[in-house]
Copies of this chain bind each other. A is one copy, B any other.
């Protein structure tokens, strides 16, 4: 049984690589099998079909992201400083996750969209879950008084996450990734906490 799980994982990994490299449509089952020196008929012992394994690959990616995002308790933050630290902490972990495996960004941003309506929906749902998480942080901040009252927490949460994922996308294409990651975290915090304005008289 262990053996079977290992093999499944192996196939999953080869498939992830193939999908990242060539996209869903152009990746061939036979290529994936050949990379593992196994008959491509064997593939169908572990997965029902091509879409099935793509969903499995995506599930793994979603789980990786969820693990990072859900690692902190949104209600535990008490001050703006703590919040800032938290953003950096979560952000760094997230960025590290994507920097550790370039295939993630390639798949999430380029290859997965449009493959299957069901999958698009699942991506939207994962997105929504992350948005809810961020919303909880913001609402906690308002409650605790270190974020302003009257903020549109729902939309702001989405905006913040859009930035964070924009950063991930940008990171994948950048040279000095460590440095760029820090610049992004700083920029995101700036916009989240102070904005870019000089603070003089904004209605």
Is A95 in contact with chain B by the CB < 8 A criterion?
no
A196 and B196: CB pair below 8 A? no
Q: Cβ of A186: which chain B residues have Cβ within 8 Å of it?
A: 152, 155
- Select one of B23, B24, B163 contacting A159, CB under 8 A: B163
Size band of the A side of the interface? 35 or more
Number of copies: 4
New contact pairs (9) apart from A24-B114, A194-B194, CB-CB < 8 Å: A80-B201, A110-B120, A138-B196, A146-B200, A147-B198, A156-B190, A159-B163, A161-B166, A194-B202
**3 A-B pairs with least C-beta separation:** A162-B166, A195-B195, A193-B197
Interface residues of A in 134-169 (CB under 8 A from B): 138, 141, 145-148, 151-152, 155-156, 158-163, 165-167, 169
A109's closest neighbor in chain B, by CB?
A: B113
> Distance (Å) between the CB of A16 and the closest chain B CB?
14
Q: Cβ of A147: which chain B residues have Cβ within 8 Å of it?
A: 196-198
> Distance (Å) between the CB of A122 and the closest chain B CB?
13
Q: Cβ of A120: which chain B residues have Cβ within 8 Å of it?
A: 110
A selection of 7 A-B contacts at a CB cut-off of 8 Å is A23-B115, A81-B203, A110-B120, A145-B198, A146-B197, A165-B166, A194-B199
A191's closest neighbor in chain B, by CB?
A: B191
Q: When A114-B23, A152-B186, A161-B166 are in contact, do A80 and B198 touch as well, CB less than 8 Å?
A: yes
Is A54 in contact with chain B by the CB < 8 A criterion?
no
